[in-house]
Structure 1
Amino acid sequence: MLSYPASTISTPDGQVNVLQITDLHLSSPMPAAENSSEVSVCQYSFEAIVKQALSKELRCDLILVTGDLVNKVQSAIYDLIFEVLQETGIPFACIAGNHDVTDEIGEDLPFFQRELIARPTDSRLLSRHIIETDHWQLLLLDSSITGKVEGEVTPTDIDWVFKQLDSCDKPALIALHHHVLPVDSAWIDSHMAKNADNFWQHISAFEHLKVVIHGHTHQDQMRHYQGVTVYSTPSTCYQFKPFEDNFAYDKNARPGYRWLQLANNGKVASWVERLDT
């Protein structure tokens, strides 16, 4: 049995290959997809993506799950997700998204008519967690707010990140669920992380912060800000249409995942792959 959560990663070549998956949105605990014809689309695509990604020749050293693991907060759904991840034999770590701390009542209604119910965070989801590698420091934040869709990087989060970056000069990556830069879609940008300006102000001095990764926006984007590369990663289930001010699904985009190669010289390579079928 793997020790959870991952806290140290060491590889023969010093490079760490990270598989980021996000926004799984599983809504019911079903048997493994290959054993049931009743599994949800989101569960099927989650399991298919894990299988596809790990069938590649690229070595996977770490799996990061950046929030919205569930669409309905039930411990049995987390049990299933953790079972799938444990069976890979690869170290992994999971953080919360808004759906991990909030149930929406009336999902068939327009969003503003839905009731948002605060739920406690599953104890397996991490907050202010460090993963040390031979040449990198990975910092995981919980940006969720119980009962809310939008997120927040709290002053305590910012102080913690500042302390970690100040005390370790390894190249650094920050992972959280909510986006900290607008993605030019008005509806989802209204639900980004609050206090983002303060976050950027405090970390601007650290040139060794190389990467920020997040979920929440259900789309592939890359932006550069203050010397940091910010990656938005597709959902393992359904996608949002980019650059739309009103909510819209991107029906032509398949479920996806992101690879990040964290080199031993501080360089980063990253790309998105999509589910084959």
Structure 2
Amino acid sequence: MPPNGPRLLQISDTHLFADPAAEQAGVVPELRLRATLRAMAPWAATADGLLHTGDLVHDGSPAGYQRLREALLALDLPGLVMPGNHDDRDQLQAAFATGPVTAARTLPLGEWTLIGLDSLQTGEVPGHLGEAELAALDRALADCTTAYCLVALHHPPFPVGTSWLDAIGLDNPAPLFQRLAADRRVRAVVCGHVHMAFDGRLNGFRTFATPATAAQFLAGAEAFATDRGPPGFRWFDLRADGGIDTGVVRVTGV
């Protein structure tokens, strides 16, 4: 159990299809998701919240969203989901309109608030935060009453050291970091999209990404390349002093 603050579990890039047997990048995402959720179940018993950082479904299918919703609800945690470049925004929002796991803007976790952002550009791979989304972030920060904040979105606004992935991250990180730098409560930025673990620092913030539950990408590759490694998830212990303890759990036997 985290000694003095909430525990948050993150998964990302599940890439489900209408057909549960469908393959993507040489793996069956459905099978890897189910294995990851089984591994997460004991952690969920000690956790307070759940975060999915996008690419929930690969083909935008209502069936894929519905199966994912049911699977996440089985963890019995409140949570946030946000769209990635493969998602259909309308279908995602319809599937996660109500219930403990939603596409809402914020999720309070004790003395922390999780703020989710929508970086999806329909029909594009890189992400973008438009003026409306930046204004929504401004409102979320203004309304926040907790001591600390964690900001989450699909596309990384920071480099991860893999050139082809860095070329398709968030295309306008400056307005985001300008806002975050003005609020000392923001302690970290958490992303998906890169299908690998990442733990760094930029502009005074900790920066994180987590392995996909679907295929993994090869760190440091010059062009698209997959890694045969297993899926995984990330845990965060959000401390009462504003610190963050975190790690990645890899799923074996998949």
TM-score class normalised by the smaller sequence: 0.7 to 0.9
Alignment of 1:40-119 (within 5 A): 41-56=28-43, 59-101=46-88
Distance 1:12 1:255, change over 3 A: closer
Q: Contact conserved, 2:62 with 2:91, CA < 8 A, in 1?
A: no
The Cα shift of 1:214 comes to: 0.5
Amino acid at match of 1:228: F
Amino acid at match of 2:237: Q
The Cα shift of 1:167 comes to: 4.6
d(CA) in 2 for partners of 1:127, 1:246? 32
d(CA) in 2 for partners of 1:205, 1:148? 30
Amino acid at match of 1:24: T
Aligned to 1:8: none
Q: Which range moved further: 122-131 or 61-70?
A: 122-131
Distance 1:59 1:241, change over 3 A: same
From 138, 141, 166, give the equivalent of 1:189: 166
Unaligned runs of 5+ in 1: 1-10, 31-37, 102-118
SS of equivalent residue, structure 1 residue 100: coil
From 232, 237, 240, give the equivalent of 2:217: 240
Distance 1:23 1:12, change over 3 A: closer
From 14, 19, 28, give the equivalent of 2:9: 19
Query: Is residue 2:157 matched to residue 1:180?
Result: yes
The Cα shift of 1:57 comes to: 8.4
SS of equivalent residue, structure 2 residue 227: coil
Q: Contact conserved, 1:150 with 1:178, CA < 8 A, in 2?
A: yes
The Cα shift of 1:263 comes to: 1.8
Quote the RMSD (CA, aligned, Å).
Answer: 2.3
Amino acid at match of 1:19: L
The Cα shift of 1:27 comes to: 1.8
Distance 1:12 1:24, change over 3 A: closer
Aligned to 2:238: 262
SS of equivalent residue, structure 2 residue 249: strand
SS of equivalent residue, structure 2 residue 37: helix
Among the aligned pairs, what percent are the same residue? Answer: 29
- Greater radius of gyration (CA): 1
The Cα shift of 1:50 comes to: 1.0
Aligned to 1:222: 199
SS of equivalent residue, structure 1 residue 69: coil
Aligned to 1:122: 92
1:171-220 Cα deviation digits (max 9, x unpaired) = 10001100101112221122111211221123212221101110000111
Amino acid at match of 1:215: G
Query: Is residue 2:198 matched to residue 1:208?
Result: no
The Cα shift of 1:134 comes to: 2.3
Q: Contact conserved, 1:141 with 1:174, CA < 8 A, in 2?
A: yes
Amino acid at match of 1:164: A
Query: Is residue 2:141 matched to residue 1:165?
Result: yes
Distance 1:92 1:203, change over 3 A: closer
d(CA) in 1 for partners of 2:2, 2:33? 29
d(CA) in 2 for partners of 1:167, 1:80? 33
Aligned to 1:5: none
The Cα shift of 1:250 comes to: 1.3
d(CA) in 1 for partners of 2:79, 2:44? 19
Unaligned runs of 5+ in 2: 97-101
Amino acid at match of 1:47: R
Aligned length: 242
d(CA) in 1 for partners of 2:2, 2:157? 34
SS of equivalent residue, structure 2 residue 121: coil
